[in-house]
């Protein structure tokens, strides 16, 4: 959240980028980045702006009927009030006219996770005489990065999740061996119970998918359409959670075979595993050497492995998503050069998933997912021991 303590660092970043300021805008939650930085809570049904200048105090623009969302706005910082559109546009023009400002804007919608400001608002701001540039690097540095305590929280959650995934897979195998196979949604419920015992919370999921259902990357098991996990199945377990009360999410995917896997399954698994490791190797080497690296480059490295193994057309999604301090699917740099053109640098303090996959509709899906955090001179990967071979139960 934007605070007096954060302000000097942010203003130095603005100076380094030769920006006159950062203009934050939100309307009914269209810009989660702005709302998160401003610490908004409760009803916010009118347009709001806040301008963080390179020098001086930030200035907010609030609607007269909604002071509530500004509860965390420091009293020493100016807060201008409007009720009509003429007054709003005049206030915006007075703040940014003739200035070079950053906004949550991505030219050509190249990075949709960042592109949060409507075209009409950009027209309004440019019409006031401002030059608008993307706030992408600012978002990475002041919104997406983790604190040391948040990193520690993530590591604890990752340890719990890895153990819960392993126990779930072993239970699925035990149920098959006993002749009473469990359904996907029953294994899902078991994971949620384990989360509660471990002091973890999640907003939805997890995903437990057998064979053909695993070919849908966004599959959700349901008691309404139960699917038993049986001998001969490939089992995908994708689970994500954070410590109760607001820790940073950990997000992992584990793979198992109910009985000895076929050569085809092993071949696909090894392609996915090696793609994961290729992305991690690129990132680790660059970061250790102090060289810049971008998420799109890691995506290319993973994708090259899967394409070389003959499964390129079946790797449908980005290699990884940002995990920021607020959201599982965050607004920081993505590991993506497929769905979007994310050219933001992976800077110290940001975290993300690495999760290549191969999906064969009607047959099976295979994915392996770990998380990574960029340290000052090294890449931290969770869980500490990524899956190397298929679990056979």
Tokens of 94: 């007075």
Cβ-contact 374, 345 below 8 angstroms: no
Residues 368 and 257 in one domain: yes
How many CB atoms are located within 10 Å of the residue 49 CB? 24
351 HSE (CA, 13 A, CB side): 29
196 with 268, same domain: the answer is: yes
pLDDT in tens, 274-323: 999 999 999 999 999 999 999 999 999 999 999 999 999 999 999 999 99
State which of 123, 143, 163 marks the end of a domain: 143
DSSP conformational letter for 325? S
Where do runs of H (alpha helix) occur along 210-363? 263-288, 295-308
**101 and 212 share a domain?**
no
214: CATH: 3.90.230.10
What's the mean pLDDT in 263-270? 98
> Is the model's pLDDT at 330 over the cut of 80?
yes
At 213-245, the pLDDT tens digits run: 999 999 999 999 999 999 999 999 999 999 998
Supply the range of the domain harboring residue 324. Answer: 145-392
Task: Retrieve residue 42's tokens.
Answer: 């409760």
Last residue of a domain, one of 101, 127, 143: 143
Final residue before a domain boundary, out of 99, 115, 143: 143
Sorting pLDDT into bands at 50, 70 and 90, what band is 191?
very high
Which of 128, 74, 120, 123 lies closest to 96, judged by CA? Answer: 128
Number of compact structural domains in the chain = 2
Q: Which residue has the tokens 């049986």?
A: 230
* 384 in any annotated domain: yes
User: How many C-beta atoms surround the C-beta of residue 4 within 10 A?
Assistant: 11
Alpha carbons 337 and 241: distance in angstroms, whole number: 26
CB 65 within 8 A of CB 78: no
Q: Tell me how far apart the alpha carbons of residues 356 and 366 are, in angstroms, rounded to a whole number.
A: 9
pLDDT tens readout for residues 336-375: 999 999 999 999 999 999 999 999 999 999 999 999 999 9
If asked whether residues 132 and 279 sit together in one domain, one would say no
In a domain, 1, yes or no: no
Residue 43 has pLDDT above 80, yes or no: no
Angle ∠(210,328,144) on CA atoms, nearest 5? 150
Span 60-80, mean pLDDT? 94
**Do 301 and 382 have their domain in common?**
yes
> Is the same domain home to 151 and 113?
no
pLDDT tens digit sequence for 75-112: 999 999 999 999 999 999 999 999 999 999 999 999 99
């Amino acid at each position: 959240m934007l605070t007096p303590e954060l302000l000097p660092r942010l203003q130095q970043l603005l100076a380094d980028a030769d920006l006159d300021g950062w203009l934050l805008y939100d309307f009914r939650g269209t810009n989660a980045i702005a709302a998160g930085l401003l610490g908004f809570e409760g009803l916010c049904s009118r347009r709001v702006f806040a301008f963080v200048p390179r020098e001086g105090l930030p200035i907010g623009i609030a609607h007269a009927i909604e002071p509530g969302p500004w509860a965390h706005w420091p009293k020493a910082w100016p807060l201008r009030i409007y009720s009509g559109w003429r007054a709003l546009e005049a206030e915006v023009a007075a703040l940014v006219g003739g200035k070079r400002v950053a906004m949550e804007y991505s030219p050509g919608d190249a990075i949709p996770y960042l592109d949060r400001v409507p075209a009409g608002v950009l027209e309004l701001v440019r019409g006031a005489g401002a030059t608008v540039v993307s706030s992408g690097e600012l978002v990475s540095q002041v919104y997406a990065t983790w604190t040391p305590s948040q990193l520690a929280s993530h590591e604890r959650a990752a340890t719990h999740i890895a153990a819960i995934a392993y126990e779930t897979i072993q239970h699925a195998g035990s149920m098959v061996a006993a002749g009473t196979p469990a359904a996907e949604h029953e294994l899902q419920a078991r994971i949620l119970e384990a989360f509660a015992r471990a002091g973890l919370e999640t907003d939805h999921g997890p995903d437990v998918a057998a064979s053909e259902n695993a070919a849908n990357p966004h599959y959700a098991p349901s008691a309404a359409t139960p699917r038993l996990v049986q001998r001969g199945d490939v089992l995908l377990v994708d689970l994500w959670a954070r410590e109760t009360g607001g820790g940073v999410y950990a997000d992992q995917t584990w793979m198992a075979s109910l009985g000895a896997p076929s050569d085809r399954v092993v071949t696909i698994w090894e392609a996915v595993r090696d793609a994961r490791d290729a992305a991690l190797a690129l990132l680790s080497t660059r970061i250790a050497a102090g060289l810049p690296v971008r998420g799109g480059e890691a995506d290319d490295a993973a994708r090259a492995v899967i394409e070389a193994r003959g499964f390129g057309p079946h790797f449908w999604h980005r290699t990884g998503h940002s995990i920021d301090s607020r959201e599982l699917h965050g607004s920081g740099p993505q590991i993506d050069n497929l769905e979007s053109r994310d050219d933001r640098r992976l800077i110290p303090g940001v975290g993300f998933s690495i999760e290549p996959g191969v999906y064969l509709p009607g047959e099976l899906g295979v994915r392996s997912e770990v998380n990574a955090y960029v340290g000052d001179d090294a890449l931290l990967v969770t869980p500490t021991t990524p899956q190397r071979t298929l679990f056979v139960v």
